[in-house]
Amino acid sequence: MINACAVLTISDRGFAGEREDASGKEVTRILTDSGFAVIHQEIIPDEVALIAKTLVMLADEKHLPLIVTTGGTGVSPRDVTPEATLSIIEKQIPGMAEAMRLASMQKTPHAMISRAVVGIRGITLIVNLPGSPRAARENLAVIMPALPHAIAKIQGDSSDCAS
């Protein structure tokens, strides 16, 4: 199913039940409203090995075309989502991450410290979003127009890209 996806919230406090998962709910709402079927949603702690293991399971075992993470993309000591993502992807898509940062920098200079990564593992597109609901929403809006085309190409669509 080309529109199936997962939303992973990476948050120690969210995992411990100390904070509501507002960003995961917001990302799920946006994806659902855009025609995606969110078939897996989970909150996991900021642990490189667990994040990597979960991404691999969703990509390799569930064969999901899209995994969106929220949280752990900054510069705090526990922000390790990019390292986990980089450890399991086969190709980066730097243009998507750059586009998110560029658009965010129009709103806040703090966007320049985002370390979000976008990449491919097998037939799965993996997108790291920031952890705040507003930033996650704004970043996802930037790349949303390109997601269906990117997913189709990753899934093997050989049609011409020209419009």
Work out the percent of the chain whose per-residue pLDDT is above 90. 94
Whose tokens are 């990019």? That residue is 82
Q: What's the pLDDT tens digit per position in 99-137?
A: 999 999 999 999 999 999 999 999 999 999 999 999 999
pTM (2 d.p.): 0.96
Q: Give a yes or no: residue 136 inside a domain.
A: yes
Decide if 59 contacts 126 (C-beta within 8 A). yes
Measured in degrees and rounded to the nearest 5, phi and psi for residue 74 equal -90, -150
Question: How much is the average pLDDT of 29-57?
Answer: 97
Q: How far apart are CA 120 and CA 103, in angstroms?
A: 22
Domain count of the chain?
1
CATH of the domain at 110: 3.40.980.10
Q: Give a yes or no: residue 160 inside a domain.
A: no
